[in-house]
Structure 1
Amino acid sequence: MAAALGRAAGRARPVPAGLPIPPGLPIAPCRGCGDGDAAGWARRERSYWRALRRQVLGPPVPPFAEPVQVGAPVLRGAAAAVAAEQLGGPELRRLAKALTAGLRARPCLGLSAPQLGVPLRVFAAELPPDRCAGYPPALRRAHRIEPFPLRLLVNPALRVLDTRLVTAPEGCASIHGFSAYVPRHWAVHVSGVDELGALVSWEATGWAARIIQHEMDHLDGILYIDRMDTRTFTNVAWMELMD
C-alpha cells in the first residue's frame, strides 16, 4: 500500500476535460491547453507523506488553522446566524480562539468564520499599535489608520453613518498574494455580541470602518473582488516573480 501511494503521488498527469476526477488523483496542468484551461485543471501534487498523513489523520476539520482560498464554496454562501444556545458554548469559544490566532499569525486585520470553514456570522478584527506604525504616515493620515483592540462580533448588524465612498487598497487572506482598490463607506456602526453573549457596539471611521465592511461582506458571501476597480487588481509580488 505504501509503495502504491508513493508511485501515485509521483505520477501527475493531465485529465481530459469533461471526465470526472477520481478521488486522490494528482493532477498536473494540461500542457496543450490555453492558460484558462490549464489553470482550471492545475492541482498541487500531493507527496507520499502528505497522502499518508491524510489517510491516517483524515481531512482537516473546521475551524481550520489556515484561511480557505477563493474557490471554496463556504466563501460564497450567506453565513447562518449563531443560535442563542451556542453563546458561551465550547464550539463558539473554540471558533473565537481560532479567529484570534489566525489574525495574529499573519499580516491580517480582520478574519471571518467562513474563511476558516465555519459558515456562521462571526468575525474578529484587531489593529495593534506596532502594526499600525508600519503604514506610511501619509496613508495613516489620509485614511485615519489608528490602532484598535481585538474585537469579536457574533451576529453583527451594520449601519452606515457616513455614506461618502473612499477608495483604498485592500487584500484578503482568502485571495492570497493579490490586492485591489475598493470603495467603502467612510464611517459605520456595527453591533452584536461576543462569544460569551456580552453586547458589543463599535462606531468606526476610516480604516477600521473599511475592515468592518470587508468582514461583513464575507458573512454574505461577498469578496472584495466583487467590489473592486478591476483595473487595479494586482499580484503584490509581481516584481519578485520577474527576478
Structure 2
Amino acid sequence: MPDRHPTGSPSDPSPATMASAAWLRETVGSMVERHGTTGELPPIVQLGHPALRMRAAEVDGQLDDGLLDGFLRLMRAVMHAAPGVGLAAPQLGVPLRMAVLEDQFQVSPETADVRERRPLDFFAALNPTYAPRGTRRAAFYEGCLSFAGFQGVVDRPADIDARWEEPGGAVRQEAFSGWQARIFQHETDHLDGIVYIDRALTRSLTTNANYLQRWASPGIEGARAGLGF
C-alpha cells in the first residue's frame, strides 16, 4: 500500500450541490460552450470521483432542449474519441441519468459469434432501466473508460428487457441480447453508482497490456484456467 497522506480540502462540490438543477445547468453549459468554441472535450473522470459513486438524478427538465441536445452531442464526441461503445453522464462528472451507446467496431467472425456481438446503432438513453429476461447468463471481459488500463470478467444476464426515454420524451422499450445487453447494463449501472469492478470476478482483473498479450481470445476459458477464477 503506498504511503499517501491527504493534504488540503476536497475541491469537488457536495453531492447535494451536484444534484441541484442550477449546478447541473452551469456545469453542463460550460462544457458545451467550451466544446462549441474551442473543440475542447472534457476529461473522463476516473474512479475516486464522487459522481461515479452517486445515484444520478432523474432527467426531469434540469436542462432545456438546446442544452440537452448539446450535451448529448458532446457525450457522443467524447465516446468516439476515447474510443468506447458507451458513455454515461457521471463519467463526465455530471450525475444525471443519461447515457449514449453505439457499437460499430469491427471484430472477427469468431468473436462476434462467441460474444453475440452485433452492431448497435447510436442512441441516447434518458432514465434507462433494465430487467433480466429469462435465466441465461454470460461472462466476458469488460473495460471501463473510468477505470483506465484494466479489464475484468463480469457475469451478467445475457438477455434483458430495456426501457428508456428519448430526448424528445418518447418512451422506448426493447429486448437486447449478447453484447448489446452487456453495453446497456454497463452504462445503466453507472447511473446507480456502480462500476463494473463492483461486479467483476476479481481474480480475473488484468492490465490492458496483459489482456492483449495473454487473454484476448473470444471467450474466457484461457484466462479462467491461467488466473484461477
Q: What TM-score, normalized to structure 2?
A: 0.73
Matched, 1:79 2:56: yes
Distance change >3 Å, CA 239–CA 121, structure 1 → 2: closer
For 1:40-59, what aligned pairs fall within 5 Å after superposition? none
What is the deviation of 1:198?
Answer: 2.5
What is the deviation of 1:19?
Answer: 6.2
For 1:1-243, what aligned pairs fall within 5 Å after superposition? 20-21=7-8, 61-62=30-31, 65-83=42-60, 85-86=61-62, 89-128=65-104, 131=105, 133=106, 135-238=107-210
Identity %: 36
What is the deviation of 1:151?
Answer: 1.2
What is the deviation of 1:156?
Answer: 1.1
> What are the ranges of 5 or more consecutive residues in structure 1 without an aligned counterpart?
1-15, 25-59
Partner of 1:32: none
Distance change >3 Å, CA 239–CA 90, structure 1 → 2: closer
SS at the partner of 2:159? Answer: strand
Aligned mates of 1:150, 1:198 — CA distance in 2? 16
Aligned mates of 2:108, 2:182 — CA distance in 1? 17
1:25-60 Cα deviation digits (max 9, x unpaired): xxxxxxxxxxxxxxxxxxxxxxxxxxxxxxxxxxx9
Higher relative CO (Cα under 8 Å, sequence separation at least 6) belongs to: 2
Instruction: Mark the structure with the bigger radius of gyration.
Output: 1
Partner of 2:217: none
What is the deviation of 1:113?
Answer: 0.5
Distance change >3 Å, CA 198–CA 175, structure 1 → 2: same
Aligned mates of 2:128, 2:163 — CA distance in 1? 5
Aligned mates of 2:6, 2:208 — CA distance in 1? 35
Aligned mates of 2:176, 2:79 — CA distance in 1? 19
- Is this contact kept in 2: 1:87–1:197, CA < 8 A? no
1:50-90 Cα deviation digits (max 9, x unpaired): xxxxxxxxxx955762210111110001001011x347622
Query: Which amino acid counterpart does residue 230 of structure 1 have in structure 2?
Result: T
How many aligned residue pairs are there? 186
> What are the ranges of 5 or more consecutive residues in structure 2 without an aligned counterpart?
12-28, 33-40, 213-229
What is the deviation of 1:171?
Answer: 0.2
Distance change >3 Å, CA 81–CA 19, structure 1 → 2: closer
Aligned mates of 1:149, 1:19 — CA distance in 2? 44
Aligned mates of 2:43, 2:89 — CA distance in 1? 11
Distance change >3 Å, CA 65–CA 159, structure 1 → 2: same
What is the deviation of 1:94?
Answer: 2.1
- Is this contact kept in 2: 1:162–1:187, CA < 8 A? yes
Aligned mates of 1:118, 1:234 — CA distance in 2? 28
What is the deviation of 1:212?
Answer: 0.6
Q: CA RMSD in A?
A: 2.7
Aligned mates of 2:47, 2:9 — CA distance in 1? 22
Query: Which amino acid counterpart does residue 196 of structure 1 have in structure 2?
Result: G
